[in-house]
Amino acid sequence: MTTTVLAAGDHFVLPRLFTEELRAAAPGAALDVREIQLPWPHTPFGKVAEVDEAVGSEDEMIEALRDVRVCVTQMAPLTARVLARCPALELFCVSRGGPVNANLEAATRHGVAVSHAPGRNAVAAAEHTLALLLAAARGIGEVHTDLTHGVWRGDYYDYDNCGIEIDGSVVGLVGFGAIGSRVARALVAMGATVLVHDPYAKPEAVAGIAELVPLDQLLSRSRIVSLHARVTDETRGMIGREQLASMPRGSVLVNCARGALLDYDAVCDALESGRLAGAGFDVYPAEPVPAGARLLSTPGVVLTPHIAGASRQVAHKAARIVAGEVGRFLRGEGLAHCANPEVLGR
């Protein structure tokens, strides 16, 4: 029996990458793969009906999913209306760390399994974190800007203007998941002493790499702090004025996780007062960052536009992970990354 699959790619995870990985993951399977290309990132993602961080209209998806049994995508919306109009759909695979563009409750009601791709960008995000950490610790953003404006700043050799080395520094990581643990191992290799705050980290996983400590200890002891936590009710706004005030004067702060973890106005105050010597950010409370935002003119900051997960390898890994789920589904095996596993038992 031929299985019709929709590969709803975009300009990052290309439709052809899905198709190539689907063929590799299900050799010999009779697949009718239909490709469409959504406009992300040329068109920003946003809310589509009741789902978040999606691109494409419900009508477009209803038409594209006609008679489709399996869909692999990164950004396409799976809403209650789409589900109601696409009865043939059985599996919806999101090639992202979480299926934020899928209505899980509605999918479960309709018997549609939703899978995702955890860890797809862990290596890229860890490497980007290290890049921002090093740039912020050594003031690379500011000296780059000076040079491009024709200013040669020899005074960066003044003791008070010098940056700090990783070797011999205490670095605190808030979160020890797939990304944080990679950052920790790299920092240890560079000679840092690493502290970790993560209520869910197992002591045996951290042993030999870092020291598990409460958050207040991590902040007071660390010269450099990097955030790697998920946003939950407990972590939202976890680093604010009080926490920044407890950090050693001249510290460095990095956030490649989520903007909601951090009070950015308090960060600007800390940078202007010298409490923080530098900061590196890839995520923000509002994206894109509004023109005129205070952060854009605050000294000592290195900024990137939420691109920590942007590598060619990530695009290939994302397609490969969800294609693997499709292969397991077609062979009647259990899914590795199903977000609503109760559907599978029906």
Which residues belong to the active site?
Answer: 258, 287, 306
Rounded CA-CA distance 140/132 in Å is 9
Report how far apart, in Å, the C-alpha atoms of 307 and of each of 27, 127, 131 are. Answer: 34, 11, 12
Question: Strand 3-9 relative to strand 70-73: parallel, antiparallel, unpaired?
Answer: parallel
The CA-CA-CA angle for residues 15, 306, 163, to 5°, reads: 140
What is the crossing angle of helices 312-330 and 15-25, to 10°? 40
Ranges of beta strands (E only) in the chain are: 3-9, 31-37, 46-48, 51-54, 70-73, 91-94, 113-115, 170-174, 193-197, 211-212, 224-227, 251-255, 276-281, 301-303
Amino acid at 210: A
> Could you tell me the sign of the dihedral formed by the alpha carbons of 80, 81, 84, 90, in that order?
negative
In contact, 219 and 247? CB cutoff 8 Å: yes
φ and ψ of 70, to 5 deg: -135, 140
How many residues are recorded in the chain?
Answer: 346
Q: How many CA atoms lie within 13 A of 240 on its CB side?
A: 6
What letters, b where the CB count within 10 A reaches 16 and e where it falls short, cover 121-141? Answer: bbbbbbbbbbbbbbbbbbbbb
3-state secondary structure of 34: strand
- Which residues neighbour 323 within 8 Å (Cβ) at sequence distance 6 or greater? 18, 21, 22, 24, 25, 26, 72
